[in-house]
Amino acid sequence: LLNTARCASVAAGRYIKAMAGQAHPVGSKGYANHASDVVTAVDLYAQELILHHLKPTIARYDLGLLAEEGDQDESRLNRHAFWTIDPLDGTQHFIERATGYATSIALVKRDGTPLLGVVYDPVHDALYEAVAGQGVSINGAPMPPMAQPKDTDRVTWFADVSLKRHPDFSR
């Protein structure tokens, strides 16, 4: 399953990289949050590429599916595990021709416990992968453990660009 996710993520990522730098019509999913609302034909085709790889595993192992683009069939609620995919995670960055996008695929137990995950950054040709209890690797090499912060009172907060429009942003 890890190899299937790896192949799917890299195939979609290479397609996305080939499409980068071009103008793409931007559609709307109808969400209130702009960063999660935008969609392009690149998102949709990248998802098709990923599903081409994952569908045989769905049938063989009776897995569910939660996909970013398109209608959901609720199979994730009825199966022991499900694939969850975001074919172009960071579409807004892609549209703006900036770095900061990737393909993301995970296999998750019905209760939400992650089993494995793969993220491919096509800009930097970096493949991150993890299997529960086995650590993280980048392009096949184990990722060293992160050092513990010395200042335990500091909090690092990550948010999308919509945070700047929040009424209390300046505060």
Sorting pLDDT into bands at 50, 70 and 90, what band is 29? low
Our CA angle for 148, 151, 157, nearest 5°, is 85
Dist CA 54 CA 136 (whole Å): 21
Dist CA 105 CA 131 (whole Å): 12
The one-letter amino acid code at 36 reads S
Cβ atoms of residues 89 and 120 within 8 Å:
no
pLDDT, tens only, 60-87 = 999 999 988 876 778 888 899 999 999 9
pLDDT, tens only, 50-59 = 999 999 999 9
Residue-wise over 37-74: b if at least 16 C-beta within 10 A, else e? bbbbebbebbbebbbebbeebbeeeebbbbbbbeeeee
Dist CA 37 CA 87 (whole Å): 14
